[in-house]
Amino acid sequence: MRILRNVFKLLAIGVLLSSPVLVYAQFDAQVTQFMFNVQGYNPAAIGGQQMMKVFGMQRLQWVGLKNAPSTTDFFVDVPFKIKKTYHAVGIHFQNDAFGLFVNQRVCFAYAYKQKIGEGFLSIGTSLGFANMTIKGDSVYIPSGGSYHNQSDLEIPKSKESDIGFDMDLGVYYSHPNFDIGFSVLHLTEPIIRWGENSEFYLSRMYLLSGGYKFKLPNPNYTIKPSLLVKTDFASWQMDVNLLMEYKMKFWWGISYRIQDAVSLLAGLRVLNGLMIGYSYDLPTSKIIMSSSGSHELFLSYEFKLDIEKKNSKYKSVRIL
């Protein structure tokens, strides 16, 4: 959410330049190809379609703008079965750097899955840590004037970081023709402390996602609209996406993020289970005067993980 991220930057800088204060602001990184990265914001979606998944993504936002955001996302999730019950576990790592700040999250996720009809209803949670760093040694303070104080104790002279316990919850239903999910991020609302006087508050984020597959008269083509709504009840953001898929091998489409950007997307399945996707965001705000846009590239691999014991018994007239 671009607007909220800007608010966070301004508020975080304000922490360093003012008296002790508690800040409320947005933390989570922006993602355009969210329909391929549901596990990244809803822990209940891990182990989807009973496939193991390895996913990596790199996003360069607002290229051309100094100290623009750069996000790296990586996760692995594994489905498994205990008797007649379905489960999944996963690990998620995210590194989001912008300006003077570096935000990192490491989470371990679990989901319980119940087969309902042709799909699975999942309930999941993720537990981990959020670490936030400010590069105090890179802060520039202009000299002169009554508004600047070179010796301001609120401004760190070196890197400052702190870590807090983080927790997410989610529910997700996946069907061969559609999916819908709801999740709550930062349920524990961790507080990050920079030094003795400054604190940053990670407020809860609520997300609603959904998608559907429309089969056309020509069976080679499928239309896939999808939606992602995010809010912390202070502001909100919505992404609307429409993809066209050909023979389940190629896809292309367009996405619109309200008051932020129009995006073009394309991708292909290179081999069975191996996918690569790319998106380009063209800003619709005044930031287009300083940036040529944003680039996002992901690589994903899904495959069946058969860990069930195989029957090793056999008969032979030579072995008694």
- Written as one letter, the residue type at 126 is S
pTM: 0.81
Q: Does position 312 have pLDDT exceeding 80, yes or no?
A: no
Chain segment 119-150, per-residue pLDDT in tens: 999 999 999 999 988 776 667 766 666 655 66
Q: What integer is the mean pLDDT of 170-197?
A: 90
Give 78 or 312, the one with higher predicted confidence: 78
Residue showing tokens 């999808």: 226
Q: What integer is the mean pLDDT of 74-78?
A: 95
Structural domains of the chain ordered from first start = 2-142+154-303 (2.40.160.60)
CB neighbour list of residue 10: distance below 8 Å, 6 or more residues apart:
none
Residue showing tokens 């407020």: 203
pLDDT of amino acid 114: 93
Strand partners, 25: 202
Q: Does position 109 have pLDDT exceeding 80, yes or no?
A: yes
With H, G, I as helix, E, B as strand and everything else as coil, classify residue 39. Answer: helix
Q: What integer is the mean pLDDT of 70-84?
A: 93
Token digits of residue 7: 């608010």
